[in-house]
Amino acid sequence: MKNDRKLVVIALGGNAIKQADEIGTAYEQFRNVAITCKQLVKMNELGYKLILTHGNGPQAGNLLIQQEEAKQIVPPQPLDVCGAMTQGQIGYMFQNQLQNFFRKKGKNIPITTVITQVLVSKDDPDFDDPTKPVGPFYTKDQAMELNKTKGYIVKQVRPNGEKQWRRVVPSPDPIGIIEANCIKALVKARAIIIASGGGGIPVVEKSDGQLVGIEAVIDKDKAGQKLAEVVDADIFLILTNIENAYLNYSMPNQKKLGEISISQAEKYLREGHFLSGSMGPKMLACIRFIKAGGERAIITSLDRAIDTLQGNAGTHIVP
Amino acid sequence: MKNDRKLVVIALGGNAIKQADEIGTAYEQFRNVAITCKQLVKMNELGYKLILTHGNGPQAGNLLIQQEEAKQIVPPQPLDVCGAMTQGQIGYMFQNQLQNFFRKKGKNIPITTVITQVLVSKDDPDFDDPTKPVGPFYTKDQAMELNKTKGYIVKQVRPNGEKQWRRVVPSPDPIGIIEANCIKALVKARAIIIASGGGGIPVVEKSDGQLVGIEAVIDKDKAGQKLAEVVDADIFLILTNIENAYLNYSMPNQKKLGEISISQAEKYLREGHFLSGSMGPKMLACIRFIKAGGERAIITSLDRAIDTLQGNAGTHIVP
């Protein structure tokens, strides 16, 4: 039995926290987060219940560089622990800024970040051929050394420059949200929750049932979809740097997509209209959400989010 | 109206996560956390509802060193953000290990970490004379440079060695827990919650009501007490590296303290029986808890925690 207020899970892109031309000071990040939160507060005022999830690429990247630079003095933490750290970091910024917007309006709303582990299958095919680059760039020699000493899988990721190599890790599919019951309890208490940041802390279930963190990065839109599914959200909203998805994007015959059915979305995805590192996983996440029983999945930009929820913008995927 | 299961807020010392002779690898920390969690699971089985809080000294120290080493490449984050990062880091380790102990027993218990801001007064006297050392040691020249360029307050903290100086920050008193309503909602949902790690993320309320993170460190036992107070806990349990508090500690006439009244505790504290950087703030936190209406405050060691809850060990402060 659904409550009358619709529950929206919002997946925020990296630009909601750190712009590409910024170095990532706390000042910059709080400012960007504030811009995002202003829109989130409007959604709350429109009557939506909110759960946020977000990327952590730039923050995890910075942390990995810091760990690298200090590795002679301080032991670097593995990727699962780094992911947990960025969940705390970014979550704090969102809950602080959201809280402040509501305080301005004299509203006392429970808001918090839930540190979230996301289950992946230890048999996920992505473990066989990791493709997600993480951390600093290395010279070939450094990369080979890391492969030898730490077992890192390394790949050449750019054709020139002094440092062309990076570590790559698997990006397995999310199959469960370990803290789902906590998040549901908070939704019930009418809280705004920040969860599954950076795609969640990836854990596998060993044959004895124990959950073990792994060195991997889950796509944040896919993890956001799984989160939206397990909390029984009505709407899954992906906010990115573009207002709509397109057919034949950046070609003369490009066509903006408004509301499309799940079968149209599947057809367009199959036909290769959406870039694999960009709109592709977003569209796939939307398709999965509708297949799992969701009412509406939306892709749009932050500044059109309100218009979009009112049906006047964005790309909508519906059953 | 209280539930029949007693609610215990447990404040864990740094040794619950990183031993003094360890460098702080993830492996070491997960192992220590597992040892602690084994006792916490027993408490759960005795029928107690649990909220954990913990220190973050070694983890924040390591993170500050990493930030320092990479500062030419990556902008260091301020202390409030670093605190949030260690809440995510340590919280993840606890929720993962606790979850695993319960999974072994076939139990599905909601467990999560709540990123927690702790309110302090902007007029706290500790802002006038900061005393809490944080981050790396510096030479006098480095310290003076940091004072000039970044406004750090620096103090000579040891009499010899190459680097004798450290940054010091205020350690203000906690006066509120911003996420109290979320924590209460999770208690109601019978979750085990990790909250206010590292004493919480210190925030002040500006005259316009906005909450702003500050460069300070709140004592984790004092913050734990405030947490225990606002969630209306029955018992506040401080786990440290010693089984009891003592009168005339380490003197020939030292006397182990069992159950004492709040007036006895206040008298002993006034008389200077408890070290200011160690047992002093713990005893003060216990006194505050009882004054705020708590039923029982306890100081003991991890390995005696169960005996202590059954009344057979530890120092108990009662009304």
User: Residue B98: enclosing H or E segment and its boundaries?
Assistant: helix B79-104
* CB-based contact A218:A174 (threshold 8 Å): yes
A175, A135 contact by CB (below 8 A)? no
Residue matched to tokens 């404040």: B11
pLDDT digits (tens, 9 = 90+) for B74-87: 999 999 999 999 99
- Closest chain B residue by Cα to residue A91: B115
Instruction: Confirm whether A15 is a catalytic residue.
Output: yes
Q: What is the pLDDT of residues A191-227, one digit of tens each?
A: 999 999 999 999 999 999 999 999 999 999 999 999 9
Confidence class for position B72, pLDDT limits 50, 70, 90: very high
CB contact (8 A) between residue A89 and residue B77 = yes
Strand partners, A297: A236, A317
| Tens-place pLDDT, residues B175-199 | 999 999 999 999 999 999 999 999 9
Cα–Cα–Cα angle for A260, A302, A262, nearest 5°? 15
> From the list B111, B115, B211, which residue is nearest A100 (CB)?
B211
Position B117 scores a pLDDT of 98
CA B299/CA B58 separation, integer angstroms:
22
- What integer is the mean pLDDT of B44-48? 96
Angle (CA) B212-B217-B220 rounded to 5° is 115
Flag if B88 and A88 touch (Cβ within 8 Å).
Answer: yes
Catalytic residue among B6, B13, B15, B198: B15
Q: How far is A182 from chain B (nearest CA, A)?
A: 6
**Of B6, B49, B220, B222, catalytic:** B220
Provide CB contacts within 8 A for A250, sequence distance 6+.
none
How far apart, in Å, do the first and last CA atoms of chain B sit? 20
Averaged pLDDT for residues A294-307:
96
Cα of first residue to Cα of last residue in chain A, in angstroms, is 20
- The Cα A17–Cα A91 span in angstroms is 11
Contacts of A201 in chain B (CB under 8 A): 92
Q: Is the pLDDT of residue B226 over 70?
A: yes
Residue of A nearest to B97 (CA): A211
pLDDT of A239 > 70? The answer is: yes
What are the two backbone dihedrals, phi and then psi, of residue A256, each rounded to the nearest 5 degrees?
-65, 135
Q: Report d(CA B69, CA B124) in Å as an integer.
A: 32
Interchain pair B100, A178: CB under 8 A? no
Task: From chain B, pick out residues whose CB is under 8 angstroms from the CB of A86.
Answer: 85, 88
Question: Shortest CA distance to B61 belongs to which of B43, B38, B85, B42?
Answer: B85
- Tell me the C-alpha to C-alpha distance, in Å, between residue A179 and each of A85, A220, B107: 17, 16, 14
Told to judge if B3 belongs to the known catalytic residues of this protein, a careful annotator would answer no
How many angstroms separate the CA atoms of B267 and B251, rounded?
A: 19
d(CA B135, CA B82): 11
Tell whether the model's pLDDT for residue A313 goes beyond 50: yes
Burial B261-295 (b: 16+ CB within 10 A, else e): ebeebbebbeeebbeeeebbbbbbbbbbbbeeebe
Report the predicted TM-score, pTM, of the whole model to 2 decimal places: 0.96
Q: Contact A85/B85, CB-based, under 8 Å? A: yes
Contact B25 A179 (CB under 8 A): no
Shortest Cα distance, chain A CAs vs residue B267, angstroms: 40
C-alpha separations of B37 from A303, B32, B34, B98, B238 in Å: 45, 9, 5, 6, 15
Integer Cα distance of A205 and A121 in angstroms: 7
In the predicted model, is pLDDT for residue A64 greater than 80? yes
- A229: distance to nearest CA of chain B, Å? 18
pLDDT, tens digit, 9 for 90 and up, residues B256-286:
999 999 999 999 999 999 988 789 999 999 9
Taking the C-alpha atoms of residue B236 and residue A14, their distance in angstroms, rounded to an integer, is 40
Among the CATH numbers 1.10.1060.10, 3.40.1160.10, 3.40.50.1100, 2.60.40.10, which is that of A10-121+178-318? 3.40.1160.10
Please list every residue in chain B whose beta carbon sits closer than 8 Å to the beta carbon of residue A213.
92, 96
Q: Report the alpha-carbon distance of residue B275 to residue B282 in Å, rounded.
A: 10
Question: From the CA of B87, how many Å to the nearest CA of chain A?
Answer: 6
Q: Which two tokens stand for residue B188?
A: 């109601």
HSE-CB at A107 with a 13 A cutoff on CA atoms is: 15
DSSP A123-189: T-GGGTS--EEEEEEE-HHHHHHHHHHH--EEEE-SSSSS--EEEEE--PPEEEETTHHHHHHHHHT
Which ipTM score applies to this complex? 0.95
Task: Report the DSSP pairing between strands B132-138 and B211-213.
Answer: unpaired
On chain A, the residues whose CB falls within 8 A of the CB of B32 are none
Q: Confidence class of residue B120 from pLDDT cuts 50, 70 and 90?
A: very high
In degrees, rounded to 5, the angle at the alpha carbon of residue B248 between the alpha carbons of residues B243 and B249 is: 40
pLDDT tens sequence across A121-150: 999 999 998 989 998 899 999 999 999 998
| B220 is an active site residue | yes
- Give buried/exposed letters for A59-89 (b at 16+ CB in 10 A, else e): bbbbbbbbbbbbeeebbbbbbbbbbbbbbbb
User: Which of B104, B185, B209 has the CB atom closest to A189's CB atom?
Assistant: B185
Q: A300 with A236: CB under 8 angstroms? A: no
B132 is catalytic: yes
Q: Which of B89, B99, B108 sits opposite A84 (nearest CB)?
A: B89
Q: What is the pLDDT of residue B1?
A: 41
Phi, psi dihedral angles at A144 (to 5 degrees)? -65, -40
CA B230 to chain centre: 16
Q: Which of A44, A45, A54, A49 is nearest to A15 (CA)?
A: A54
Which chain A residues are Cβ-neighbours of B194 within 8 angstroms?
115
The b/e string for A201-230 (b: 16+ C-beta within 10 A; e otherwise) is bbbbbeeeebbebbbbbbbbbbbbbbbbbb
Alpha-carbon B281 to chain mean position? 11
The predicted-structure confidence for A173-183, as pLDDT tens digits, reads as follows 999 999 999 99
How many CB pairs lie under 8 A apart between chains A and B? Answer: 191
Look up A248 and say whether it is catalytic.
no
**From CA A294, how far away is CA A318, in angstroms rounded?**
8
Optimal mutation site among B85, B104, B188, B205, interface A, most CBs of chain A within 10 A: B85
Count each helix (H run) and each strand (E run) in chain B, helices first.
9, 17
Per domain, the residue ranges of chain A are: 10-121+178-318
**pLDDT at residue B276 in the model:** 82
Among candidates B70, B113, B201 on the partner chain, residue whose Cβ is nearest the Cβ of A65 = B70
Predicted confidence at residue A1, as pLDDT, reads 41
Q: At what angle do helices A26-45 and A79-104 cross, to 10 degrees?
A: 60
The token pair at A63 is 């942390």
If you average pLDDT over residues B296-316, what whole number do you get? 95
Extract the tokens encoding B283: 């005893």
Q: Specify burial of residue A157 (Cβ count, 10 A radius: 0-12, 13-18, 19+).
A: middle
Average per-residue pLDDT in chain B? Answer: 94
Nearest residue of chain B to residue A107 (CA atoms): B209
Answer yes or no: do A182 and B189 touch at CB < 8 A.
yes
Nearest to A85 among B74, B88, B211 (CB): B88
Q: Do A70 and B73 touch (CB under 8 A)?
A: no
pLDDT given at position A20: 84
Mean pLDDT, chain A, whole residue set: 94
Q: Give the pLDDT of residue B2.
A: 47
Q: Which ranges of A201-278 would DSSP assign to H, the alpha helix? A: 220-230, 262-270
